[in-house]
Structure 1
Amino acid sequence: MSMLHDGVGKGAFGELSRFRGEFYDCLIRRGDALFELTDAVLCADGPVRSLVELSLVGEHRRGHGGLYAALARGRIDVDHMRRALTAVPLPRAADGRLVLAVDITCWLRPDAHTSPERILCHTYGRGKDQHIPVPGWPYSVITALETGRSSWSAPLDARRLAPGEDAATVTAQQLRELVQRLIDAGQWRAGDPDVLVVTDAGYDVPRLAFLLRDLPVQVLGRMRSDRVLRRACPPRPPGTRGRPPRHGGEFAFGDPTTWGNPDTRTVTETRLYGTATARSWDRLHPRLTHRSAWVVDTGTLPVIEGTVIRLDVDHLPSGATPRPVWLWWSGTDATAADADRLWQAFLRRFDIEHMFRLFKQTLGWTRPKIRTPEAADRWTWLILAAYTQLRLARPLAADLRHPWERPAPPERMTPSRVRRGFRHIRRKTACPAAAPKSSRPGPGRPPGRKNTTATPRHDVHIVGKTDTKTPPAKKNPQVIHPRPRRTG
Structure 2
Amino acid sequence: MISVHDPVVGKAFGWLRRFRKEFYACLTTRQDALFELADAVLCADGPVRSLAELSLVGEHRRGHGSSYGAVVDGRIDVERLRSALAGVPLPRAADGRLVLAVDITSWLRPEAHTSPQRILCHTYGRGKDQAIMIPGWPYSMVVALEPGRSSWTAPLDVVRLAPGVDAATVTAAQLRALIGRLTAAGQYKPGDPQILIVADAGYDGPRLAWLLRDLPVQILARMRADRVLRRATPPWIARVHGGRKPRHGGEFVFGDPATWGDPDVATTTQTRLYGTASALAWDRLHPRLTRRAAWTGSGELPIIAGTVIRLQVDRLPSGAIPKPVWLWWSGVHATDTTTPADLDRLWQTFLRRFDIEHTFRMLKQTLGWTSPKIRSPDAADRWTWLILAAYTQLRLARPLVADLRRPWEKPAEPDRLTPARVRRAFRHLRNNTACPAAAPKPTRPGPGRPPGRPNHQPTNRYDVHVVTSNQASKPKPKTKKSVNPRPRRTG
Please classify the TM superposition score into its range, dividing by the shorter chain length.
over 0.9
- Are the equivalent residues in 2 in contact too, given 1:461–1:467 (CA < 8 A)? no
Deviation sequence 1:322-355 (CA, Å, 0-9, x none): 0000000001223222211110100000000000
1:296–1:189 Cα change, 3 Å: farther
How much has 1:5 moved relative to structure 2?
4.6
- Are the equivalent residues in 1 in contact too, given 2:166–2:470 (CA < 8 A)? no
Task: Give the aligned length.
Answer: 486
1:379 to 372, 383, 392: 383
1:4–1:274 Cα change, 3 Å: farther
- Are the equivalent residues in 2 in contact too, given 1:291–1:301 (CA < 8 A)? no
**3-state secondary structure, aligned to 2:239:** coil
**3-state secondary structure, aligned to 2:34:** helix
- Residue identity in the other structure for 2:402: A
User: Is 1:162 equivalent to 2:166 in the alignment?
Assistant: no
- Are the equivalent residues in 2 in contact too, given 1:460–1:468 (CA < 8 A)? no
Deviation sequence 1:228-270 (CA, Å, 0-9, x none): 0000001113624422110000000000000000001000000
Alignment correspondent of 2:281: 280
1:269–1:174 Cα change, 3 Å: same
Alignment correspondent of 1:69: 69
Return the alpha-carbon distance in structure 1 between the equivalents of residues 288 and 177 of structure 2: 29
Alignment correspondent of 2:79: 79
**3-state secondary structure, aligned to 1:35:** helix
How much has 1:477 moved relative to structure 2?
4.3
- Residue identity in the other structure for 2:361: R
Return the alpha-carbon distance in structure 2 between the equivalents of residues 100 and 465 of structure 1: 24
User: Is 1:51 equivalent to 2:55 in the alignment?
Assistant: no
- Are the equivalent residues in 2 in contact too, given 1:462–1:468 (CA < 8 A)? no
User: Is 1:435 equivalent to 2:439 in the alignment?
Assistant: yes
Q: 1:294-305 counterparts in 2 under 5 A?
A: 294=295, 299-305=299-305
Return the alpha-carbon distance in structure 2 between the equivalents of residues 198 and 478 of structure 1: 35
1:418–1:31 Cα change, 3 Å: same
1:442–1:345 Cα change, 3 Å: same
Structure 2: runs of 5+ lacking an equivalent: none
Return the alpha-carbon distance in structure 1 between the equivalents of residues 323 and 253 of structure 2: 16
Superposed CA RMSD in Å reads 1.8
Higher mean C-alpha deviation, range 71-80 or range 119-128: 119-128
Q: 1:47-446 counterparts in 2 under 5 A?
A: 47-126=47-126, 130-237=130-237, 239-240=239-240, 241-294=242-295, 299-332=299-332, 333-334=334-335, 335=338, 336-446=340-450
Structure 2 length normalisation: TM-score?
0.96
Return the alpha-carbon distance in structure 2 between the equivalents of residues 134 and 407 of structure 1: 40
How much has 1:464 moved relative to structure 2?
2.4
**3-state secondary structure, aligned to 2:58:** coil
Structure 1: runs of 5+ lacking an equivalent: none
Return the alpha-carbon distance in structure 2 between the equivalents of residues 328 and 40 of structure 1: 43
Return the alpha-carbon distance in structure 2 between the equivalents of residues 396 and 52 of structure 1: 30
1:470–1:124 Cα change, 3 Å: farther
1:447–1:317 Cα change, 3 Å: same
How much has 1:396 moved relative to structure 2?
0.5
Return the alpha-carbon distance in structure 2 between the equivalents of residues 70 and 368 of structure 1: 13
Alignment correspondent of 1:455: 459
- Are the equivalent residues in 2 in contact too, given 1:262–1:279 (CA < 8 A)? yes
Return the alpha-carbon distance in structure 2 between the equivalents of residues 441 and 431 of structure 1: 26
Return the alpha-carbon distance in structure 2 between the equivalents of residues 472 and 483 of structure 1: 18
Structure 1 length normalisation: TM-score?
0.96
Return the alpha-carbon distance in structure 2 between the equivalents of residues 434 and 463 of structure 1: 46
Return the alpha-carbon distance in structure 1 between the equivalents of residues 325 and 10 of structure 2: 45
- Are the equivalent residues in 2 in contact too, given 1:150–1:351 (CA < 8 A)? yes
Return the alpha-carbon distance in structure 1 between the equivalents of residues 206 and 390 of structure 2: 34
Return the alpha-carbon distance in structure 1 between the equivalents of residues 109 and 75 of structure 2: 23
**3-state secondary structure, aligned to 2:328:** strand
